[in-house]
Amino acid sequence: MMAPGVLAITLFAAGLVLLAAELLLPTHGVLGILGGGAIVAALVVCFWINAWLGLAAFLATIVAMPFVGTYAVRLWPRTPLGRRLVLQPIPPAAPAPTVAIGQTGVTASELRPGGVCDFDDRRYEVFSEHGLIPAGATVRVVAIHDNRPIVRTMV
């Protein structure tokens, strides 16, 4: 038969191992429930040994839970299973074009309605405001929508 102090330490250690295994294995919470039960059983054994020991172990567990939870949440996306389940960060938005409304340029390709235009020796993807615009036409920027210039032919 195991001494009560050794039993409490063993149950607490087994609970921590089961909770850590829950992060790494897809058990749908089974290991987490077993780990939590083992920690509660360790606290019950501590109260059975001595009321003050049980109270101290309970308060230490309550104080440690937010820190352990925060660590687990930060660790989860780095685990093999977490990398498959957690979405990756969104790449930064495309920089705004350096063209201004009213600036003129020349179409490098036919705009139907999207295409490429040259503005001051730089190429940008643009959209035509209305219909097709042939390659080589002079255009003016009339608006910028979703970081893409909207152009109109100059008449």
pLDDT in tens, 41-70: 999 999 999 999 999 999 999 999 999 889
Q: What is the pLDDT of residue 68?
A: 87
Q: State the CB neighbour count (10 A cutoff) for residue 69.
A: 11
Average per-residue pLDDT for the chain: 90
What average pLDDT does the segment 97-114 reach?
90
> What confidence category does residue 104 fall into, taking pLDDT thresholds of 50, 70 and 90?
very high
Return the pLDDT at 64. Answer: 94
Give the mean model confidence (pLDDT) for residues 118-142.
92
Task: Give yes or no for residue 136 having a pLDDT over 90.
Answer: yes
Looking at the chain, the whole-number percentage of residues with pLDDT higher than 90 is 62
Please report, to the nearest 10 degrees, the dihedral formed by the alpha carbons of residues 40, 46, 48, 53 taken in order: -130
Which carries the bigger pLDDT value, residue 97 or residue 35? 35
**In whole angstroms, what is the distance from residue 96 CA to residue 79 CA?**
36
CA dist., res. 88 & res. 82, Å (int): 10
Q: What is the pLDDT of residues 23-40, one digit of tens each?
A: 778 888 999 999 999 999
What token pair was written down for 3? 């001494």
Using a cut of 0.75, tell me whether the model's pTM lies above it: no
Task: Examine the pLDDT at 115 and tell me if it is beyond 80.
Answer: yes
With CA atoms as reference, report the closest residue to 76 among 26, 37, 35, 38.
26
Tens-place pLDDT, residues 69-85: 898 889 888 888 788 88
The pLDDT of residue 98 is above 90: no
